[in-house]
């Protein structure tokens, strides 16, 4: 059967192939020297001529963007990351997604429409990385599939069916003991950045939030800081400055600098912002010096643990640490003042 002009063509490729029938469409015509050359685009490959002709007929009945139909995992990642990375506020998050993509190499050149749960699962299983990176790979797949659904590139989120890979999540965070907190206080003048760890413990800020605190958002007169990231409830929240850490924050406070916590660039002889990666390095040095074994996020865990032990108001605690309040009455009709937050924070017994 001869196909109409401009309808497209079906070719059978040589060799032993699983899908030997190639469907080609005419994209347009260009002048090449003295000749007119047809620009072709491949619609897809099919196991039988009948299926190839059906695919060609379906295309003409409901034309779609062939570019999105043939897009590879790597090409879609580029489009997704270009949009998603603009929403991220720290470079470390971008690096984790980049690493997750690099370890997904078996998927890179696959047409996105051809990827199935077994491809995703095997890629995660075979990756020579730790559980944290595998978890990030799985998270990234979900985000990319949601992006693909948004732009009608696919009709089904196969990342949601990727269940055979169970990511072990470590929830065994241990709060700083009262003795360890006392030890930090005893060495704030001898060990650099011991004060920063105490400020993290006494405010509940996440480590990434600590390094992003700006001096313009520190109100020493009224005892509060505006800061926070990550969630809608956590962004730009009011966090009390307790009476005992106010001198530590006052010592760091300098309106001439943009950020509360800074580093010194010995090559440029200048004050520079403290990055999260550098903070982790400083934190580790303090832990080594004081013979402690804690992770940076355990400062926030310590605040929450002692706040609950001190029986402070649960809604006020959520306001301070930036957790979502689900109770409608409390969320909409109750307006908590900064003074209430400060008074409640000062009730927490750390030592």
Please tell me the predicted confidence (pLDDT) of residue 71: 82
The three-state secondary structure class of 283 is: helix
pLDDT, residue 331, reads 46
- Assess contact for 272 and 261: CB atoms under 8 A: no
Residue 327's contacts (CB-CB under 8 Å, 6 or more residues apart) are: 315
142 and 160 Cβ atoms separated by less than 8 Å: yes
Pairing mode of beta strands 21-32, 270-273: unpaired
* CATH dotted code for 178-345: 1.10.443.10
Q: Write out the CATH class of domain 73-161.
A: mainly alpha
Q: At a CB cut-off of 8 Å and minimum separation 6, what does 3 contact?
A: 9, 10, 56
Sign of CA dihedral 90, 256, 297, 243: negative
DSSP H/E element including 298:
helix 298-309
Asked if residues 322 and 237 have their Cβ atoms less than 8 Å apart, the reply is: yes
pLDDT confidence of residue 334: 47
Burial class of residue 56, CB neighbours in 10 A (0-12, 13-18, 19+): buried
Angle (nearest 5°) at CA 77 between 25 and 120:
95
pLDDT at 35: 67
The C-alpha atoms of residue 217 and residue 236 are separated, in whole angstroms, by 9
* pLDDT beneath 50, residues of the chain: 329-334
Say how far residue 166 (Cα) sits from the centre of its chain: 19
Beta-bridge partners for 194: none
CA–CA distance, 200 with 92 (Å, rounded to integer): 19
What is the pLDDT at residue 330? 45
CATH 1.10.150.130 in the chain is located at 73-161
| Radius of gyration, CA atoms only, the chain | 28
In the chain, where does the domain assigned CATH 1.10.443.10 lie? 178-345
pTM (2 d.p.)? 0.56
pLDDT at position 229 is: 75
Q: Tell me the C-alpha distance between 190 and 291, whole Å.
A: 15
Residue 27, both tokens: 């994209």
Residues 6+ apart with CB under 8 A from 148: 76, 112, 154
CA distance 329 to 97: 38
pLDDT at position 9, please? 84
Determine the pLDDT at residue 332: 45
Question: What's residue 327's pLDDT?
Answer: 52
Question: What's the maximum distance between 2 C-alpha atoms anywhere in the chain?
Answer: 89
Angle at 7 between CA 3 and CA 8, to 5 degrees: 85
The pLDDT score that the predictor gives to residue 217 is: 94
Residue 325, pLDDT score: 63
């Amino acid at each position: 059967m001869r196909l109409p002009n401009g309808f497209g063509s079906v070719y059978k490729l040589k060799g032993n192939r699983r899908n030997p029938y190639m469907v080609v469409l005419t994209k347009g015509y260009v002048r090449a020297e003295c000749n007119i050359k047809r620009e072709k685009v491949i619609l897809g490959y099919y196991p039988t001529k009948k299926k190839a002709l059906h695919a060609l007929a379906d295309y003409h009945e409901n034309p779609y963007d062939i570019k999105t139909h043939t897009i590879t995992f790597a090409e879609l990642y580029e489009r997704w990351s270009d949009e998603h990375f603009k929403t991220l506020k720290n470079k470390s998050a971008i690096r984790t997604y980049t690493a997750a993509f690099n370890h997904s190499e078996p998927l890179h050149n696959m047409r996105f429409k051809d990827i199935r749960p077994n491809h995703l699962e095997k890629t995660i299983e075979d990756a020579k990385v730790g559980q944290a990176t595998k978890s990030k790979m799985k998270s990234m797949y979900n985000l990319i599939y949601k992006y693909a659904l948004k732009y009608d590139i696919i009709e089904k989120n196969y990342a949601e069916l990727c269940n055979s890979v169970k990511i072990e999540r470590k929830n065994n965070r241990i709060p700083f003991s009262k003795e360890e907190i006392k030890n930090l206080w005893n060495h704030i003048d001898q060990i650099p950045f011991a004060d920063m760890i105490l400020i993290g413990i006494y405010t509940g800020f996440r480590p990434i939030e600590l390094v992003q605190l700006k001096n313009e958002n520190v109100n020493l007169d009224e005892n509060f800081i505006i800061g926070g990231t990550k969630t809608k409830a956590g962004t730009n929240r009011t966090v009390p400055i307790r009476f005992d850490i106010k001198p530590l924050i006052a010592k760091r406070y300098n309106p001439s600098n943009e950020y509360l916590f800074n580093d010194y660039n010995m090559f440029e002889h200048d004050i520079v912002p403290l990055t999260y990666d550098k903070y982790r390095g400083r934190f580790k040095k303090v832990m080594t010096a004081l013979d402690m074994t804690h992770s940076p996020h355990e400062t926030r865990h310590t605040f929450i643990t002692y706040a609950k032990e001190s029986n402070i108001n649960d809604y006020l605690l959520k306001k301070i640490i930036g957790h979502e309040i689900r109770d409608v009455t409390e969320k909409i009709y109750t307006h908590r003042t900064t003074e209430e937050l400060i008074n409640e924070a000062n009730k927490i017994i750390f030592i």
